[in-house]
């Protein structure tokens, strides 16, 4: 271990020569990155093996977090931070003539996730390792991560994210640990020694090859594993060659089709082929992951009846739900258990997190597809369903309505959320409001049947990446002010509240924020050639683009501000810079039009000399983890404006809060809990409450057109979408947007909340003028953000759901 600068420099230079045959002055930034990565790998190699050895010898219960997504982002800076080597390496590199930040930029951003769900999984891995829990990730090594977004002529254009092109210094291919996964075929049933035996024949077997990524905990060296699976052909080329002339090409085709399983994150599932591929991916993850988990379990030499004491399998949303029938299949077909015993083991091992209430996002698979692709697994699902429905009718005689509502297989579809609830011992939502709505609404009958299964685990974010790494100056100030205990116990951030009225501390907070804004302004100038005023309010909405997140309301409000400034050019205004970052699903046309609209408005506003010094609008392309780390520390205002009841939790809201931005938000998701801690003084709430939204959905009574006719501000901006004027065009480019609001009655209540949003934005302008009061609010936000550290969340999962203890003592919750 190079625990001082000189040792580091020596080790570094040696590696440069021995691995690349280069001297310092020949090395490129890419070389430096690679060598640094390899050095860290060497440093942790022994500890990684030791951690695994420790788990084995202590027979510790292991948690496996199954997720189709791990949005880990870059690892270099975070790994150095967690190893306590950040300063040593930064200083050493500087003396060697390199800037660490620049080297960090060499790393591709591992974008193996769509958004919040995948990022949550990554934060959880960091907390599990940092708190010393035996918890591992199990996912897919997609060859292409989430698409790279380019904005061309205002439109989103998607490019493949070829993140592995230059290799991945963090991964270790483990061919010795590969497993076979089987698809298709027919099930043959026979009687052997008085037992019914199920054998799948004519199936297609493929290899799942694991790539292990070390997950380095903060502080005492503790290294867990993120195991990502890659699909490879198991076809023997020699046998193929025997099969005729075209077989070489067939072989290549076949290989390509096998490899496609781990090729793309979230393939386009609008058609049958795409859906099938997604289902294949899900089973691939479940089957490969489970085989490897059970192989480790079997080494303990314990009977399978002890599986729930030694293994917890957690499924991140319904995507890995096939774990349930797959475990049943192994227990029954391979281990010889009877149904009841297998069911008991399975339902005491698997737990499930629900991440959305949106009905269109609840997964369903056509029965035919599941039956053909996974014949034996389908039989088991059918049996689970039969027994479950039978039990319902026994307990609630005559209630066919209940059976129709709750069945796992219904209308020729397999409902994955139902299977997940029935087959697991714990179901949790991701914020209190979300869990309450699950219980009262979407999963009401299941809650009534299994009340003890339902619990809440409000999401969290790792303060190591989102505060210490993303905002080092703020972290330093915090440590200078309250000591360093907050790093291991983020609740200690509460001590900052004492300093909220301290002018010197306020001044430091605002100075650091300004520094972060200047850095972001540099980035913007470099990328877009636009200069932004660091003294303007940086108002930020960065997240996936979706109707319910209401980026549209934000941009319509910007259009309204533009109109106001045009109408009253001499009026003084608090300067504002609106910053957007968002990727739209490639087939989501409305979302893509909203991106175009933001870019058109940005162009008009930024070119208009009358706006100068008052209003700027930016759309930052390719929002990603690493971009988030640049943007969030620079924000003054955090936009968390979803239609109440729609955003399960949100985690961006927590990241902004931790970096001292004030939130303008609805009472939705975790905003509710933020508000409980911050009160009205430190957060800007507006808009409908979730009960009011639900009431409208149930009983009607909302008419978007009325809002449009009644409020001249609304009428004006809505008209500007479709008629010639500053923002439009001849080709009705924004007709779809206008239609969604006026003709389809504004599903997400954009117009209904517009007025209260605009008023609250005006209140923010006034509040910002009082710099000291603003700083005090910002400090209160940072002070309470410790509550949203994923360390606290993980401690609760560990204690309440997984029943595991840390290898080292954990912090107090």
By the criterion CB under 6 A, which residues form the site for ligand 26V?
Answer: 115-117, 120, 317, 355-356, 358, 360-361, 430, 459, 546, 647-651, 669
Question: For 733, which DSSP code?
Answer: T
Q: Which two tokens stand for residue 674?
A: 């933020």
Q: State the Cα–Cα distance between residues 722 and 800, nearest whole angstrom.
A: 53
Nearer to ligand 26V, 51 or 459 (CB): 459
Nearer to ligand 26V, 296 or 554 (CB): 554
Q: Is 412 left (phi over 0), alpha (psi -120 to 50) or beta?
A: left
Is 688 within 8 Å of 641 (Cβ atoms)?
no
635 SS3 class: coil
Nearer to ligand 26V, 534 or 665 (CB): 665
Q: Active site residue: 9, 500, 517, 549, which one? A: 549
Is 708 within 8 Å of 715 (Cβ atoms)?
yes
Backbone angles phi, psi at 363, to 5 degrees: -75, 135
Nearer to ligand 26V, 483 or 587 (CB): 587
Is 776 within 8 Å of 506 (Cβ atoms)?
yes
Nearer to ligand 26V, 116 or 423 (CB): 116
Nearer to ligand 26V, 127 or 459 (CB): 459
Q: Is 483 left (phi over 0), alpha (psi -120 to 50) or beta?
A: left
Q: Min. distance of Cβ 642 from ligand 26V in angstroms?
A: 8
Nearer to ligand 26V, 28 or 270 (CB): 270
Q: Active site residue: 280, 500, 544, 616, which one? A: 544
Query: What are the CA-CA distances from residue 535 to residues 507, 608, 691, 795 (Å)?
Result: 14, 19, 39, 40
Q: State the Cα–Cα distance between residues 635 and 173, nearest whole angstrom.
A: 40
Q: Min. distance of Cβ 356 from ligand 26V in angstroms?
A: 4
Angle between helices 750-769 and 771-784 (to 10 degrees): 120
355 given a catalytic annotation: yes
3-state helix, strand, coil in the chain (%, to 5): 55, 15, 30
Nearer to ligand 26V, 338 or 587 (CB): 587
115 SS3 class: coil
Which stretches of 416-477 are assigned E, i.e. beta strand?
Answer: 426-429, 454-456
Q: Which of 31, 37, 90 is nearest to 216 (CA)?
A: 37
Question: For 24, which DSSP code?
Answer: G
Q: Min. distance of Cβ 353 from ligand 26V in angstroms?
A: 7
Is 158 within 8 Å of 587 (Cβ atoms)?
no
Q: Is the dihedral of CA 658, 74, 174, 141 positive or negative?
A: positive
Q: State the Cα–Cα distance between residues 150 and 260, nearest whole angstrom.
A: 24
Q: Min. distance of Cβ 747 from ligand 26V in angstroms?
A: 12
Q: Active site residue: 577, 651, 663, 793, which one? A: 651
Q: Min. distance of Cβ 669 from ligand 26V in angstroms?
A: 5
Q: Which two tokens stand for residue 360?
A: 């269109």
Q: Active site residue: 9, 439, 543, 777, which one? A: 543
Q: Min. distance of Cβ 125 from ligand 26V in angstroms?
A: 14
Q: Which two tokens stand for residue 230?
A: 């890659």
The total of other beta-carbon atoms located within 10 Å of residue 72's CB is: 29
549 given a catalytic annotation: yes
Q: Min. distance of Cβ 316 from ligand 26V in angstroms?
A: 9
Q: Which of 789, 473, 768, 501 is nearest to 658 (CA)?
A: 789
Nearer to ligand 26V, 705 or 796 (CB): 796
Nearer to ligand 26V, 117 or 565 (CB): 117
Q: How far is the first Cα of the chain from the last one, in angstroms, to the nearest whole number?
A: 32
Question: For 808, which DSSP code?
Answer: S
Residue listed under structure tokens 């479940």: 286
Q: Which of 432, 452, 460, 491 is nearest to 797 (CA)?
A: 460
Q: Min. distance of Cβ 355 from ligand 26V in angstroms?
A: 4
646 given a catalytic annotation: no
Nearer to ligand 26V, 459 or 789 (CB): 459
Q: Min. distance of Cβ 118 from ligand 26V in angstroms?
A: 8
Q: Min. distance of Cβ 197 from ligand 26V in angstroms?
A: 39
Nearer to ligand 26V, 68 or 537 (CB): 68
Task: Write down the H helix ranges in 188-335.
Answer: 237-241, 247-259, 272-298, 307-310, 323-329
Nearer to ligand 26V, 81 or 110 (CB): 110
Q: Active site residue: 61, 143, 280, 355, which one? A: 355
Q: Min. distance of Cβ 245 from ligand 26V in angstroms?
A: 44
Q: Min. distance of Cβ 685 from ligand 26V in angstroms?
A: 18
Is 658 within 8 Å of 782 (Cβ atoms)?
yes
655 given a catalytic annotation: yes
Distance from chain centroid for Cα 509: 29
Q: Which of 115, 88, 160 is nearest to 542 (CA)?
A: 115
Q: Min. distance of Cβ 344 from ligand 26V in angstroms?
A: 29
Q: Could you write out the three-class secondary structure of 636-700? A: CEEEECCCCCCCCCCCHHHHHHHCCCEEEECCCCCHHHHHHHHCHHHCEECCCCHHHHHHHHHHC
**Which residues make Cβ contacts (< 8 Å) with residue 369, sequence separation at least 6?**
272, 275, 276, 279
Q: State the Cα–Cα distance between residues 448 and 289, nearest whole angstrom.
A: 32
Q: Which two tokens stand for residue 631?
A: 């943007």
Residue listed under structure tokens 């001249």: 712
Is 557 within 8 Å of 537 (Cβ atoms)?
no
Q: Which of 430, 483, 613 is nearest to 535 (CA)?
A: 613
651 given a catalytic annotation: yes
* Closest residue by beta carbon to ligand 26V: 116
Could you give the residue numbers annotated as active site? 355, 543-544, 549, 651, 655
């Amino acid at each position: 271990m190079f625990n001082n600068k000189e040792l580091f420099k020596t080790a570094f230079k040696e590696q440069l020569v021995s691995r690349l045959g280069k001297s310092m002055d020949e090395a490129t930034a890419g070389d430096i990155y690679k060598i640094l990565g390899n050095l860290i790998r060497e440093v942790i190699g022994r500890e990684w093996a030791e951690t695994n050895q420790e788990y084995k010898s202590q027979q510790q219960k292991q948690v496996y977090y199954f997720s189709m997504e791990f949005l880990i982002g870059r690892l270099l800076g975070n790994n150095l931070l967690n190893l306590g080597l950040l300063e040593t390496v930064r200083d050493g590199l500087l003396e060697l003539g390199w800037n660490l930040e620049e080297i960090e930029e060499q790393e591709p951003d591992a974008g193996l996730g769509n958004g919040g769900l995948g990022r949550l999984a990554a934060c959880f891995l960091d907390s599990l390792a940092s708190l010393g829990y035996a918890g591992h990730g199990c996912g897919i090594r997609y060859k292409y991560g989430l698409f790279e977004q380019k904005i061309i002529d205002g439109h989103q254009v998607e490019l493949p994210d070829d993140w592995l092109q230059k290799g991945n210094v963090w991964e270790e291919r483990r061919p010795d640990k590969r497993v076979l996964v089987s698809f298709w075929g027919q099930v043959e049933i026979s009687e052997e020694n008085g037992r019914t035996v199920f054998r799948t024949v004519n199936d297609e077997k493929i290899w799942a090859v694991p790539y292990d990524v070390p997950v380095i905990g903060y502080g005492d060296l503790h290294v867990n594993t993120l195991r990502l699976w890659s699909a490879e052909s198991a076809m023997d080329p020699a046998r193929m060659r025997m099969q005729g002339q075209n077989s070489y090409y067939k072989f290549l085709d076949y290989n390509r089709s096998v490899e496609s399983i781990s090729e793309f994150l979230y393939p386009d599932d609008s058609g049958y082929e795409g859906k099938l591929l997604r289902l294949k991916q899900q089973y691939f993850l479940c089957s490969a992951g489970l085989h490897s988990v059970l192989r480790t379990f079997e080494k303990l030499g314990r009977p399978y009846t002890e599986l729930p004491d030694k293994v917890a399998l957690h499924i991140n949303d319904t995507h890995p739900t096939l774990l349930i029938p797959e475990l049943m299949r192994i227990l029954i077909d391979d281990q010889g258990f009877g149904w009841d015993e297998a069911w008991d083991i399975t339902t005491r091992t698997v737990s499930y997190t629900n991440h959305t209430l949106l009905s269109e996002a609840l997964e369903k698979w056509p029965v035919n597809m599941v039956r053909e692709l996974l014949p034996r697994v389908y039989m088991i699902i059918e049996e689970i369903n039969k027994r479950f429905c039978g039990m319902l009718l026994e307990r609630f005689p005559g209630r066919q309505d209940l059976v129709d509502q709750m069945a796992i297989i219904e209308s020729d579809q397999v409902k994955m959320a139902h299977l997940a609830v029935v087959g697991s011992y714990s179901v949790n939502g991701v914020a209190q409001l979300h869990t309450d709505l699950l219980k009262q609404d979407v999963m009401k009958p299941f809650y009534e049947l299994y009340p003890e299964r339902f619990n809440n685990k409000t999401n969290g974010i790792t303060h190591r990446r989102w505060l210490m790494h993303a905002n080092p100056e703020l972290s330093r100030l915090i440590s200078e002010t309250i000591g360093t205990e907050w790093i291991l116990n983020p609740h200690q951030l509460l001590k900052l509240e004492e300093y909220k009225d301290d002018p010197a501390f306020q001044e430091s907070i605002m100075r650091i924020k300004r520094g972060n804004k200047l850095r972001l302004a540099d980035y913007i100038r470099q990328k877009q050639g636009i200069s932004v005023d660091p003294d303007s309010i940086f108002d930020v909405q960065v997240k996936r683009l979706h109707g319910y997140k209401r980026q549209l309301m934000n941009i319509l409000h910007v259009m309204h501000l533009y109109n106001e400034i045009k109408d009253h050019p001499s009026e003084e205004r608090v300067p504002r810079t609106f910053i957007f970052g968002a990727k739209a699903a490639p087939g989501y046309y409305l979302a893509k039009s909203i991106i175009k609209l933001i870019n058109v408005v940005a162009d008009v506003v930024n070119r208009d000399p009358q706006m100068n010094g008052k209003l700027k609008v930016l759309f930052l392309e390719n929002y990603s983890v690493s971009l988030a780390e640049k943007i969030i520390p620079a924000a003054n205002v955090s936009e968390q404006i979803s239609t109440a009841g729609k955003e399960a939790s949100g985690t961006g809201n927590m990241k902004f809060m931790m970096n001292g931005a004030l939130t303008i938000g609805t009472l939705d998701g975790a905003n509710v809990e933020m508000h409980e801690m911050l009160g009205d003084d430190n957060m800007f709430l507006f808009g409908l409450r979730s009960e009011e939204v639900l009431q409208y959905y149930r009983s009607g009574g909302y008419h978007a057109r009325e809002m449009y006719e009644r409020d001249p501000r609304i009428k004006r901006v809505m008209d500007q979408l479709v008629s010639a004027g500053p923002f439009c065009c001849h080709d009705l480019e924004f007709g779809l947007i206008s239609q969604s609001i006026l003709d389809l009655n504004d599903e997400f209540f954009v117009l209904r909340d517009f007025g209260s949003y605009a008023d609250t934005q005006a209140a923010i302008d006034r509040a910002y003028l009082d710099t000291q009061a603003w700083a005090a609010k910002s400090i209160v936000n940072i002070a309470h953000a410790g509550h949203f550290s994923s360390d606290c969340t993980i401690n609760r999962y560990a204690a309440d759901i997984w029943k595991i203890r840390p290898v080292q003592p954990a912090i107090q919750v």
